[in-house]
């Protein structure tokens, strides 16, 4: 199965200074669970989205996204809009979180003593669409309905809150839940309702962002699970079960992809390193996604292409070979060579030709350019961001001239 976008990007884009200025009086993006947005900020968001959509149209960049400009951080605006969840803006580090959880240990090294999270305190239910307003704001800037199918919206993974919180605390006794399975069953119903709402409004491509699946490749995280008395294999199986529940609730022609990375915070910060090797079989063979957007820009951080040998026929991988963490423009020949190297692994494992293997691959940056309002790679500028996206497009035109 060919990916829907041969030249892809993960979704978030650098915020313009006008939007950053409008948000300057607001709290840290890590605490942005407030549903109240000042009118001036809404106006700045609307203008920024209008401008960035126009840039993508003029430059021929696909898929078209809103840059996540309506969010302060990539996972914002979802859980807190579902019934049964309560934002906790100042949970203590490390006591409220999993032992050795890479994000909180990294934040602690930077001096953080608290972190925001959303805890389930009641029955989880879908009361309003978390992201319909975002999709309509993007859709309305596209004018022609044909362009709606060239757009993509990102949604955070259902396990985002659960994986970071201390075992047994993602839901309270007052919630009425007695197991993680019950918690995720109701959460999956909310995702299914959201997919239907967005689909009915014309959206045809959704990307689930789950950077935490790569934590199962991280020895410190696995050691923390052992200290907490958590079986990491069972935990991963629980999350795979949940992902598949979401997919079963999606319309048949709503394309669903999943993005994995290792963290992408301000200053080119990442949280974990390690090859996909330890999760590749379960990721590719046990999850029902058709598209996997994977980080490969730095082999020291993300490992080599060998795990692609587990990719089954009928699925595809978007190779994140262009970095959002460094401002240096990639060597074109090196990126092309890496694409062919990845194709060689797939071809050898599936016993198909190199051309056939290329058919199930695509190219993108390894992550978004700004996972939060203030995030961004060291030295990254708007100009260089567009140059990198245009480099992706240009390389795709060279490698897949008959497959666009």
The full set of domain ranges for the chain reads 17-399
Return the pLDDT at 402: 73
Measure the CA–CA gap between 199 and 250, rounded to whole angstroms: 9
Confidence of residue 41 (pLDDT cuts 50, 70, 90): confident
pLDDT for the residue 267: 54
Q: Where are the beta strands (DSSP E) in 241-389?
A: 255-260, 291-295, 316-322, 361-365
Tell me the average pLDDT across 385-402.
Answer: 96
Q: What is the pLDDT of residues 60-115, one digit of tens each?
A: 999 999 999 999 889 999 999 999 999 998 999 999 999 999 889 988 988 889 99
pLDDT tens digits, 290-322: 999 999 987 777 789 999 999 999 999 999 999
pLDDT greater than 60 at residue 30: no
The SS3 assignment for 121 reads strand
Neighbouring-strand partners of residue 92: 114
> What is the pLDDT at residue 35?
59
pLDDT reading at 27 higher than 70: no
In contact, 75 and 160? CB cutoff 8 Å: yes
From residue 365, alpha-carbon distances to 163, 319, 330, 385, 389 in Å are 26, 8, 11, 10, 8
Task: Round to whole Å and give the CA distance between 10 and 88.
Answer: 28
Give the contacts of 381 (CB within 8 A, at least 6 positions apart): 14, 327
pLDDT in tens, 206-257: 999 999 999 999 899 999 999 999 999 999 999 999 999 999 989 999 999 9
Using pLDDT thresholds of 50, 70 and 90, give the confidence band for residue 340. Answer: very high
Task: Write 174-178 long-range contacts (CB < 8 A, 24+).
Answer: 174/121, 174/122, 175/84, 175/120, 175/121, 175/122, 175/123, 175/124, 176/122, 176/123, 177/120
Residue with token string 């691959």: 361
H or E segment at 206?
Answer: strand 205-209
3-class secondary structure, 155: strand
The reported pLDDT for the residue numbered 91 is 95
Chain centroid to CA 237: how far?
A: 19
Query: pTM value?
Result: 0.94
Candidates 3.30.1360.120, 3.20.20.70, 3.20.20.210, 3.40.50.150; CATH matching 17-399: 3.20.20.210
More confident residue, 2 or 130: 130
User: Hey, is 227 helix, strand or coil?
Assistant: helix
């Amino acid at each position: 199965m060919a990916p829907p976008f041969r030249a892809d990007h993960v979704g978030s884009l650098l915020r313009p200074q006008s939007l950053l200025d409008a948000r300057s009086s607001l709290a840290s993006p890590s605490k942005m669970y407030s549903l109240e947005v000042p009118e001036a900020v809404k106006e700045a968001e609307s203008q920024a989205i209008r401008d960035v959509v126009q840039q993508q149209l003029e430059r021929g960049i696909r898929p078209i996204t809103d840059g996540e400009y309506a969010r302060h951080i990539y996972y914002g605006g979802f859980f807190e809009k579902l019934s049964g969840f309560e934002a906790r803006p100042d949970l203590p580090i490390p006591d409220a979180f999993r032992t050795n959880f890479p994000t909180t240990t990294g934040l602690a090294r930077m001096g953080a003593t608290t972190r925001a999270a959303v805890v389930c305190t009641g029955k989880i239910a879908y009361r309003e669409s978390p992201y319909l307003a975002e999709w309509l704001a993007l859709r309305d800037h596209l004018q022609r309905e044909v362009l709606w199918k060239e757009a993509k919206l990102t949604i955070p993974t259902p396990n985002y809150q659960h994986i970071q919180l201390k075992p047994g605390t993602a839901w309270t006794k007052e919630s009425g839940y007695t197991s993680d399975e019950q918690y995720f069953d109701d959460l999956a119903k909310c995702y299914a309702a959201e997919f239907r709402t967005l689909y009915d409004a014309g959206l045809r491509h959704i990307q689930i962002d789950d950077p935490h699946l790569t934590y199962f490749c991280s020895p410190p995280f696995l050691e923390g699970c052992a200290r907490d008395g958590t079986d990491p294999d069972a935990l991963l199986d629980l999350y795979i079960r949940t992902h598949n529940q979401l997919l079963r609730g999606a319309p048949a022609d709503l394309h669903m992809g999943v993005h994995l990375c290792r963290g992408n915070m301000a200053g080119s910060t990442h949280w974990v390193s390690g090859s996909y090797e330890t999760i590749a079989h379960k990721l590719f063979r046990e999850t029902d996604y058709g598209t996997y957007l994977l980080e490969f820009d730095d082999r020291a951080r993300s490992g080599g292409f060998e795990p692609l040998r587990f990719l089954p026929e009928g699925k595809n991988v978007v190779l994140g070979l262009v970095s959002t963490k460094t401002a240096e423009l990639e060597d074109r020949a090196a990126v092309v060579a890496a694409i062919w190297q990845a194709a060689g692994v797939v071809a050898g494992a599936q016993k198909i030709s190199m051309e056939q293997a290329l058919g199930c691959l695509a190219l993108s940056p390894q992550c978004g350019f700004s996972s939060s309002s203030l995030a961004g790679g060291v030295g990254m500028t708007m100009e260089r961001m567009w140059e990198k996206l245009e480099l992706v497009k240009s390389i795709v035109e060279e490698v897949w001239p008959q497959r666009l």
